[in-house]
Amino acid sequence: MKHVFKEGQSNRTLLLLHGTGGNEEDLLPLADMIDQDANILSVRGSVNENGMNRFFKRHAEGVFDEEDLIERTKELNQFLDDKSNEYGFDRNEIYAVGYSNGANIAGSMLFHYNDSLKAAMLFHPMVPRRGIQLPDQQGVNVFIGAGENDPICPAQEAQDLKSLLESANVDVELFWTNMGHQLTREEVEAAKAWYQKL
Ligand code: MLT
pLDDT digits (tens, 9 = 90+) for 58-112: 999 999 999 999 999 999 999 999 999 999 999 999 999 999 999 999 999 999 9
Nearest to 62 by CA among 121, 115, 126: 126
Whether 108 lines ligand 1, by a CB cut-off of 6 Å, is: no
Residue 111: partners with Cβ closer than 8 Å, 6 or more residues away? 73, 128, 129, 132, 134, 164
Give the domain CATH number at 96: 3.40.50.1820
Domain range for 27 is 3-196
Measured in angstroms, how far is the CA atom of residue 142 from the centroid of ligand 1?
Answer: 19
Q: What average pLDDT is seen over the chain? A: 98
Contact in structure between 61 and 23 (CB atoms under 8 Å): no
Going by pLDDT thresholds of 50, 70 and 90, the confidence category of residue 173 is: very high
Catalytic residue (one of 18, 26, 35, 100): 100
**Does residue 35 carry a catalytic annotation?**
no
